Amino acid sequence: MVAGTEGYEKFVSRFIEVSQDLDFFEVCKDFIAFLPSKPARILDAGSGAGQNAAALAQEGFTVTAVEPMPEFLSAARKRYKSASITWLKGSFPDMACLNAGTDQFDFVLIDGVWHHIDSTERETAVIRLSVLIKKGGRCAISLRNGPAGLGSRVYPTDTKFTIQQFEKHGFVCIFEVQDKSSILPNKENVKWARIVLQKY
């Protein structure tokens, strides 16, 4: 088991059901304006049950979805059969399933993932992303703070520190919003920040 997925194995069916009912254009509405021109290559890093990857493919993007849990990948492949999506088993921080020589992206989406990896893993992930993202490409990240949900391995996130990590590796922050409430019920103690970073 990949460390960041701890807890989800107990709620596989529930997670898939809840996730696939979510609307990408509601969950990720802060990121829509920063999507690249079509066609472009997008990486959905930590793609879960596949709903975001499917929405992006439907919009005309070429999508690579990377997810560590086989159960989530299987459910995504079964429901979303777009030829524009490549489903890969892999995980932060290294995403070894991707080849930096050939796999470079115009946009990377990291939605609901960053709080599952610790500070050391985050630093490694930023370095890896700096290689995978094209010059001028963007990385959109949602940062969660609050008590654990279905995933039990959670760490606090810090918007300012996250931006600084990316700045050290050739990025500039072009969008930041904080203290957003969860769209899910019974999550009053969960707050989200969202940032978009551009590689220069």
Residue 52's pLDDT is what? 98
Q: For helices 119-132 and 159-167, give the axis angle rounded to 10 degrees.
A: 40
Q: What is the largest CA-CA distance in the chain?
A: 44
Residue 86's pLDDT is what? 97
Residue 92's pLDDT is what? 95
Residue 197's pLDDT is what? 98
Residue 51's pLDDT is what? 97
Residue 9's pLDDT is what? 79
Q: For helices 70-79 and 12-20, give the axis angle rounded to 10 degrees.
A: 40
User: Topology of 3-20+38-95+103-199 in CATH?
Assistant: Rossmann fold (3.40.50)
Least Cα distance to 29 among 104, 144, 109, 133 occurs for 109
Q: Can you give the pLDDT of all 200 residues of the chain as single tens digits?
A: 666 677 677 778 999 999 999 999 999 999 999 999 999 999 999 999 999 999 999 999 999 999 999 999 999 999 998 889 999 999 999 999 999 778 899 999 999 999 999 999 999 999 999 999 999 999 999 999 988 777 668 899 999 999 999 999 999 999 999 998 888 777 788 999 999 999 99
In the β-sheet with 41-45, what is the strand arrangement from edge to edge? Answer: 85-89, 62-67, 41-45, 105-110, 133-145, 191-199, 171-181
Helix (H) / strand (E) containing 177: strand 171-181
Residue 187's pLDDT is what? 78
Residue 22's pLDDT is what? 96
Q: Residue 56 class from Cβ within 10 Å (0-12 exposed, 13-18 middle, 19+ buried)?
A: buried
